[in-house]
Amino acid sequence: MRIAIVGSASSGKTTLAQALAERYRDVWVPEYLREFVDLHQRVPVEADQLHIAETQAAREELAMARAGRFLFCDTTPLMTAVYSRHYFGRIDPRLAALAASRRYDVTLVCAPDMPWKADGLQREPEDQSAAVHALLAEELAARAIAHVRIHGPLAQRLRQVEEVLGS
């Protein structure tokens, strides 16, 4: 099963993906955006968005070969599309097509209820969680993507996911 873990910055996606991979002794795909920012030492511009999403998707495909029961995806091309809409006012048609082509067995939406913290170039200089979360909700609804809202501290989030995936 391919599990999408989406949400705004600082919503606990990475922590949850790592914890789930450990809990289920399976594979997770880290968020490529972090690597992109570290490599280029800058925030992405609109022209980078498709590359970021394509690389994320390609890494998911490579990781599927190593996955057992689950593949936990720390973000998806849909989140790149959401951030494109938020920061650039639009979603490039090629990025929209890529996001639409991706299929996940379960989509987990991390609530923006974790303490927000700045993270150098990786995150916004101020909390944009509410705005991004609202755009994500709009995109999920527009695309008719069923999802489960995950909230609370990590232990609670893990229990919520266990209810969805089974133990």
Per domain, the residue ranges of the chain are 2-165
- Residue-by-residue pLDDT tens, the chain, 167 positions: 999 999 998 899 999 999 999 999 999 999 999 999 999 999 999 999 999 999 999 999 999 999 999 999 999 999 999 999 999 999 999 999 999 999 999 999 999 998 877 666 555 556 788 999 999 999 999 999 999 999 999 999 999 999 999 87
Amino acid in position 113: D
Q: Model pTM?
A: 0.94
d(CA 35, CA 43): 11
- Residues 95, 47, 140: CA angle, nearest 5 degrees: 30
Q: Tell me which architecture the domain covering 2-165 has in CATH.
A: 3-Layer(aba) Sandwich (3.40)
Contact status, residue 158 vs residue 38, Cβ threshold 8 Å: no
Element (DSSP H or E) covering residue 149:
strand 148-150
* Relative orientation angle of helices 13-24 and 154-165, to the nearest 10 degrees: 60
Contact status, residue 81 vs residue 105, Cβ threshold 8 Å: no
Q: Which residue has the tokens 């949850």?
A: 16
CA separation, residue 23 to residues 16, 71, 167 (Å) = 10, 12, 9
